Structure 1
Amino acid sequence: MNISTILDMAAEAHGERIGVVHGDMRMDYAAVRERAQAAARAIEASGARYLAMLDVSSPAVPIAIFGAAYAGVPYVPLNYRLTKPEINELLARVAPAYVVVGEAYRGSIEPRDDLRLVSRAEFLALPPAADAPLQPDEDPRAIAVQLFTSGTTGKPKAAILRHENLMSYIMGTVEFASADATDAIVVTVPPYHIAGISAVLSSTWACRRIVLLENFEPRAWLDAMRSESVSNAFLVPTMLQRVVEYLDALGESPKLPALRALAYGGGKMPLSTITRAMALFPDVDFTNAYGLTETSSTIAVLGPEDHRAAAVSDDPKIRRRLGSVGKPAAVEIQIRDESGKVLGAEEAGLVFVRGPQVSGEYESLGSQLDADGWFCTRDRGYLDADGYLYLDGRADDVIVRGGENISPGEIEDVLLTHPAVADCACVAIPDEQWGEAVAAAVVLKPDARVEPAELQDLVKARLRSSRVPQTIVFKDSLPYNETGKVLRRVIRQEFAQCSR
């Protein structure tokens, strides 16, 4: 089954219902399908093998997702926060491509004969197709989405999601046309995040109105929630924390009477934030959704009743569930040690997941599933006796800041360009606002001197602000093992001891 089925069914069941809202623009589901079909014709005529998107959230996003599906090419949203060389390196990997680009980002793309650049305005103004609607490829194994995700080496891997993976996730977690006519969701996560894609797919399947915000800002989010009488929302922990801080600074209640459900995920949620949020929104159902790009989004859920029970319980075992990501959702989860042995309750190890929504596949690298279909998430964690999953960090060295994966290697490469730096290693440290932040341990060359601010400015100039080390310490040497690998675990422990 092709993911275009989601839009077809929504348009046929509730074509008159408003499907997408963006500022003053409002489109019903019949119009979304018409424009997606027009997009598919344009993609087909271009001869492109991919549809790439370099832009913030707008109506072009759902049209591109479904247009690519109708045309039988993968949808490839790109991170517009990347540097110009990074963006063009990724575009070279998907050329020939039909590229929908926001005007603010057109200058980031170097001209190529095998890229067909189309502005957002042009894309949204494509004329309706005069011919019969395109019939999509019904091969469930065809590639629907390709998402670039950073790895420990810094070179982005291209995660592959096939139609069968995404349809399994949607049909296993959402009931068709389950939304009321007045239901709406605000989508604030960027298009290149799996949560942004799953929000479009699941909300369309539910026939829910999708309100798209280009960028997140607490006041704008609250204004949109009120003006559209939004019933559902999804925020990454950093966003929810900013909403809480904004409301507390104003000293007022949220005043969102239509809001019924608020889901969060994409990073570690500080206990203080979720506790305060539940107090500010006492009548709202909170859900913690844990998932990965490679698993087509959510694989574990801590539901509303779990939140309420944990918040009021005096039992430490129940109270601590607010720090879990809940129980498996439509998948199986195991915890294994490094040798592959399945561990018991409360034993920490690597998190493995299995189910039809799990892709575990990368372009060029192929499937990473084991012989029995299990995928190693590279997260570490444990299950308690009742099946609740707790995460205690990444198995690799990726730093997850505000839901964004950051490779320490790319920061280290920049720091090593400074003439005073002999060696360095970057690790994650806990951060109340962002979940994790970057910390750097630096070894200077003999008799060399440099201020931390100078190194921070260097990283900011070469990369971007999210990569700037929050903390820099100078050391005489870094710890290495016998094979020459730096012991990041030891460095993280040293940072933890310094913060006490």
Structure 2
Amino acid sequence: MSIALLLEMAASSNPDRTAVVSDETRLSTTELSTLADGAAGVIAASGAAHVAYVGTGGYLLPLLLFGSARAGRAVTPLNYRLSAEGLRELIARLPDPLVVTDAQYHDMVAGAGKQVIDSEEFVAAARTAEPAAEFPDPDDVAVVLFTSGTTSRPKAVELTHNNLTSYVTGTVEFDSAEPADAALICVPPYHIAGVGAALTNLYAGRKMVYLRQFDPRDWVRLVREEGITTATVVPTMLDRIVRVLESESVDLPTLRNLAYGGSKVPLPLVRKALQLLPDVGFVNAYGLTETSSTIAVLAPEDHRTALAATDESVARRLGSVGQPVPGVEVQIRDEAGNVLGPNQTGELFVRGEQVSGRYTDIGSVLDEDGWFPTKDIAMLDEHGYLYIGGRSDDTIIRGGENIAPAEIEDVLVEHPAVRDCAVVGVEDPQWGQIIVAVVVPTDGTEPDPEELRAHVRAHLRGSRTPDRVVFRDELPTNATGKVLRRELVAELTAANH
């Protein structure tokens, strides 16, 4: 099944429904489908073997996803926040790409790929182009996304039409949305969550409203003006939205569901959001680029049950990512590859039709039984709730003892003077690595480092106590809220020399 079929189904079922709202642009499903036909024509006529997009998204993302599919080409949205050199390096790794770029990035990519065309010119050409219609094989690559590459050269993840449509049809019921349902999308187009949002919301029948540059007050305004019923945010966005809701008296009467993910969200922030929005169903969604987006979900009822629970085993589920979605299997394995039982910590492996695990120039990294190694440290409890403990690469080895930063972060962030924190290992001649806690204080507080160390020592064994506590106004994060730990390590290491 091609992803292009998702748009065909939507246009056939609800031809006049508003599909996309992006700034001043409003397109019905029929208008989006017609424009995608023309986009396919422009792509085919270019002779390019691939499509790349540099820009902030909006309706350009679904247009390029479906237009590329109908032209039988794969598409790669690129991180527009990269340097000109970084963008050109990634474009050079794509086969003869047509580069579609928002005007403000044109100079950065001029002359790259097979051809460069401004977004507005591309859309104008699509309105008059002769349509093209190819029918890709389900196993053809539909989307290629580059990983963030914080520790090494970015990998190019290949997602087939089958991977993506398996995710969509496995997690969403076709045309299941109410006529007034609307989704607010503010995740970047180059992230798998952005791709997934375009496909799932169209398939479900929701109006998609794009906020291309996140601002918490604009977010609140759009929720009210467009009657938003569902939205997806990353942790840094949720934090800023909560601050607005705390400081201003504003209600969001239409909002029914708020999904968050992309990286771990501090539990005090989750609790605060649940209390501020008592009528909203919260969803914690966990997934990876290689798995075509979400593979586990903590549902709204799980959030409310855990928040109200006095039983510790139930209350702690608020810190989980929930249970696997239909069609996805999970295993926790030790270093020798043995499958572990409930409440044992190891590496998370996943399997399912939506799981790609394939990279350009590398090939598939699935094992002989189709399992993908996520490199995430995880644990399954006896009820099937999945807990993520961070990346295996982030493990601190202090005096020969393996220490998971998340274990310390979960304790630190519960201190009332800590708004956010990240724990990293910094090289040390005596211990190999020492534990450094980088803390963002709660507004109006000046926490004492020794008090924070004592707080950790009171909850964890002594070897988990941070050797140092340093303070920052904010943590360095990428667009999806993942803390850039390597930046912190580099900064702290430089400060030691």
Q: TM-score, normalised by structure 2?
A: 0.81
* Distance change (3 Å), C-alpha of 1:433 and 1:475: closer
Matched residue of 1:89: which SS?
helix
**Partner of 2:101 in structure 1?**
101
User: What residue number does 2:61 align with?
Assistant: 61
1:84 positional shift: 1.5
| Identity, % of aligned positions | 46
Q: Say if 2:31 is the partner of 1:11.
A: no
User: Matches of residues 55-204 of structure 1 in structure 2 within 5 Å?
Assistant: 55-112=55-112, 114-128=113-127, 131=130, 133-151=131-149, 153-204=151-202
Q: Report if aligned partners of 1:383, 1:390 keep a CA contact under 8 Å in 2.
A: yes
> Would you say 1:333 and 2:340 are equivalent positions?
no
Provide the residue aligned with 1:482 in structure 2: none
Q: Given residue 298 of structure 2, which amino acid in structure 1 is its aligned partner?
A: L
2:468 is aligned with 1:472: no
Q: Distance in 1 between matches of 2:111 and 2:205?
A: 39
Output the CA distance in 1 between the equivalents of 2:95 and 2:117: 14
Q: CA deviation at 1:140?
A: 0.6
Offset from partner CA, 1:320-340 (integer Å, 9 cap, x none): 000000011120000000111
Task: Identify the residue that residue 226 of structure 2 maps to in structure 1.
Answer: 228
1:365 and 2:381 matched: no
**2:70 is paired with a residue of what secondary structure?**
helix
- Mapped to 1, the partners of 2:139 and 2:184 lie a distance apart of 31
Instruction: Flag the 1:474–1:57 CA change in 2: closer, same or farther, 3 A.
Output: closer
Deviation string 1:125-172 (CA, Å, 9 cap, x unpaired) is 2244565x5333241100000000034652010000000000100000
Partner of 2:299: 303
Amino acid across the alignment from 1:71:
A
Contact 1:58 1:214 in 2 (8 A): yes
Is the contact made by 1:440 and 1:469 (CA closer than 8 Å) also made in structure 2?
Answer: no
- Per the alignment, in what secondary structure is the counterpart of residue 189 of structure 1? coil
Q: Distance in 2 between matches of 1:220 and 1:359?
A: 36
Equivalent residues of 2:146, 2:157 under 8 A apart? yes
CA distance change for structure 1 residues 473 and 146 in 2, over 3 Å: closer, same or farther? closer
Opposite residue 98 of structure 1, the aligned amino acid is L
Q: What amino acid does structure 1 have at the position aligned with 2:324?
A: P
Distance 1:475 1:280, change over 3 A: closer
Deviation readout 1:73-127 (Å, 9 max, x if unpaired): 1110100111221110001111411111111111211424x43111121122224
Return structure 1 stretches of 4+ with deviation > 2 angstroms: 126-131, 133-138, 150-153, 396-399, 427-443, 465-471, 473-477
In structure 1, the partner of 2:435 is none
Cα offset for 1:268? Answer: 0.3
Q: Which runs of 5+ in 1 are unaligned?
A: 400-426, 444-455, 478-500
Which residue does the alignment assign to 1:405?
Answer: none
Match of 2:340 in 1: 343
* More displaced stretch, 370-379 vs 151-160: 151-160
Residue 403 of structure 2 corresponds to residue 384 of structure 1: no
Q: Is the 8 A contact 1:48 1:98 kept in 2?
A: yes
Task: Tell me if the contact between 1:19 and 1:210 (Cα under 8 Å) persists in the aligned partners.
Answer: yes
SS at match of 1:76: strand
Task: Decide whether the 8 Å contact of 2:332 with 2:345 is kept in 1.
Answer: yes
Distance 1:438 1:385 in 2: 30
Q: Which moved more, 1:5-14 or 1:467-476?
A: 467-476
Pair 1:193–1:305, CA change in 2 (3 A): same
Structure 2 contact 40–133 (Cα < 8 Å) conserved? no
Query: Once the 2 structures are TM-superposed, how far is the Cα of residue 342 of structure 1 from its aligned partner?
Result: 0.1
Q: CA RMSD in A?
A: 2.5
CA contact (8 A) 1:35 1:126 kept: no
Q: Give the number of aligned pairs.
A: 427
Please say if residues 101 and 119 of structure 2, whose CA atoms lie closer than 8 Å, have aligned partners that are also in contact.
yes
| Distance in 2 separating the partners of 1:152 and 1:336 | 25
Distance 1:173 1:381 in 2: 22
Q: What's 2:461 paired with?
A: none
| CA distance in structure 1 between the partners assigned to 2:395 and 2:70 by the alignment | 35
Q: Secondary structure of the residue that 2:39 maps to in structure 1?
A: helix
SS in 2 for 1:72: coil
The answer for the alignment partner of 2:399 in structure 1 is none
Could you tell me whether the CA contact under 8 Å between 1:10 and 1:207 is conserved in 2? yes
Secondary structure of residue in 2 paired with 1:469 = helix
Report if the CA contact (8 A) 1:140-1:164 is conserved.
yes
Distance 1:127 1:354, change over 3 A: closer
Provide the secondary structure at the position in 2 that maps to 1:126. helix
State TM-score, norm by structure 1. Answer: 0.81
- Alpha-carbon separation, structure 2, partners of 1:2 and 1:79: 25
Separation (CA, whole Å) in 2 of partners of 1:366 and 1:67: 26
Using the TM superposition, give the Cα deviation of residue 57 of structure 1 relative to its aligned residue in structure 2, in angstroms: 2.2
Cα 1:107/1:438, change in 2 over 3 Å: farther
Contact 1:442 1:474 in 2 (8 A): no
Distance 1:437 1:85 in 2: 31
